[in-house]
Amino acid sequence: MELLKRILYILFYPGLLYCFVGGLVLAGIDRKLLARMQKRVGPPIWQPFYDFFKLLGKETIVPRNAAKRAFLAAPVIGLISLITVSLFIPVFKFSPFSTYADLIVVIYLLTIPAVALIVGGSASGSPYAGVGISREMVAIISYELPMVISLLAIAKKVGLELNNGIMTFSLSQIVEYQAQNGPLFTKLSMIPAFIAMLLVIPCKVGSLPFDIAEAEIEICEGPLVEYSGAPLAIFKLNHAIKMLVMTSLFVTLFLSGSGTGILAVDAILQFILSIVVVFFSITILKAITARLRVEQTLRFYWTYPTALALLSLILVYFGL
Amino acid sequence: MFEKLIQKGLEKSAWLYHLNTGSCNGCDIELVSVITPRYDAERFGFKIAGSPRHADIIVVSGPITSQSRDRLIRTLAQVPEPKVVVSLGSCPRSCNVFNGSYCVEGPLDKYAPIDVSIAGCPPKPEAIMAGLVRAVEILKEKRRAMK
């Protein structure tokens, strides 16, 4: 019975089906909102589904000088790790697997899709992909620092209250803290970390001011340049799911609470909050900015978001 | 199993790859105007792709110059099936005013079968949209023929 329940979790709600539908709908809403901001009609909200199924129907070409196995396996590895992350993120108090995992596992699993992009790009043997993967590495280095520092601040803040002053990385404890004391973003010491994480999301999902790795106009989508057909469809799906997973992680970290107790209502609430986060951190930035250069991205992340995250950590130690 | 969904996807999301084979830039600007807010081809799912591997519709503009001929042949070979070739403007069909020049090796149908040709020098954005919608129909037919 327990096993059956686990399988249902993996296949349906926080797992595969939810990631597929939720991620693609979120991507569609993002595109539609962006179009409305630019005074366009924009594609329908189901547009990412059309893109996905169209790409499934196209021929898959493997270039002659590509490493075939790594080239075809990379998107699938990224997809699997993203679905695993989704299983570990609690939806308010409902958390199917989170007793086994905490923030550290989530941080590592969230790096795997980027690594899969690097592996796939380097396996394709294209010079554009080569430029793309070097940029992707710079992107990883730049967003990882402020993200980890702001997660440390959260861990210390929750640990001071619930774990005798020792840092806690347990996601269910973070939710527990918010159920008792209100959402974390209302705390004074957490506001800088809140802003820092909001700035990390666009680089993590590779959206416009920080999409240096997949710059469509400069380097033809970088690591994806040689992909076609089904593997490309899975990479596009990964993109959408990354958006869903990052925003639901953000909601769990800062906007969570005790919820209503009914799973369906909580799930819908979490998804609506995800849409709001996407709107503020991805869509508005995408509509008002142009792409930064590689070293500008690195400099941006290692100054302002890092400073904000550090400020948050210091404020936590002062007990605010 | 997914055939119906794939057909629907092909209808609603055709990605363009724009190939300039020595065009005077007039047609290129008109093609770009199709994706601006005024005409907004994205509402039909058209999107300009960066790589020929992602493309469904290849839009060729310009008479084929000797410099671009090899690139044209190689780029067309890189596009996955099903694909549709669209000629934009008069140049790819007839070489237009460049006909007879020492460096022009057109027209396009020497190198690839043209599925849709959009006339005009340069064509109006409305004409380009009409041509692209016709190209999508041909794309769906080609997918059916592949099965």
A90: cis peptide before it, omega within 30°? no
Q: How far is B90 from chain A (nearest CA, A)?
A: 27
Distance CA A79, CA A19 (A): 10
Q: What is the pLDDT of residue B84?
A: 92
Global ipTM: 0.89
Q: What is the pLDDT of residue B126?
A: 92
Provide the domain count of chain B: 1
The SS3 call for residue B117 is strand
Which residue of B42, B53, B143 is in closest CB contact with A57?
A: B143
Four-point Cα dihedral B5, B11, B15, B18, nearest 10 = 150
Distance CA B134, CA B126 (A): 13
| CA angle (A243 as vertex; A238, A249 as ends), nearest 5 | 115
Distance CA A219, CA A211 (A): 11
Which residue of B13, B37, B51 is in closest CB contact with A54?
A: B13
Q: What is the pLDDT of residue A48?
A: 92
Q: Is A64 on the interface with B (CB under 8 A)?
A: no
Residues of A in contact with B49 (CB under 8 A): 216
- How many CB contacts within 8 angstroms connect chain A with chain B? 93
Residues of B in contact with A56 (CB under 8 A): 2, 5-6, 9
Q: What are phi and psi of A57, to 5 degrees?
A: -85, 0
Provide the domain count of chain A: 1
The answer to whether the Cβ–Cβ distance between B42 and A226 falls below 8 Å is no
Reply yes or no on whether the pLDDT at B20 is more than 80.
yes
The SS3 call for residue B17 is strand
Full residue range of the structural domain in which residue B57 is found = 3-146
Q: What is the pLDDT of residue A217?
A: 72
Q: What is the pLDDT of residue A99?
A: 65
Q: Is B124 on the interface with A (CB under 8 A)?
A: no
Closest among A118, A106, A117 to A82, alpha carbons compared = A106
Q: How far is B38 from chain A (nearest CA, A)?
A: 7
pLDDT tens-digit series, residues B62-90 = 899 999 999 999 999 989 888 899 998 88
Reply yes or no on whether the pLDDT at B61 is more than 80.
yes
User: In the sheet where B116-118 sits, what is the strand order?
Assistant: B47-48, B15-20, B57-61, B84-88, B116-118
Residues of A in contact with B5 (CB under 8 A): 53, 56
Q: Is B145 on the interface with A (CB under 8 A)?
A: no
Closest among A285, A246, A260, A252 to A26, alpha carbons compared = A246
Residue B80: give its domain's CATH number.
Answer: 3.40.50.12280
Residues of B in contact with A59 (CB under 8 A): 80-82
Residues of B in contact with A221 (CB under 8 A): 50-51, 54
Give per-10-residue mean pLDDT for chain A (320 aa): 82 84 91 90 90 88 86 90 88 73 83 90 86 88 90 86 79 83 82 90 86 76 85 90 91 82 83 88 88 88 91 85
Full residue range of the structural domain in which residue A262 is found = 2-317
Q: What is the pLDDT of residue A307?
A: 92
Could you say which DSSP state residue B80 is in?
P
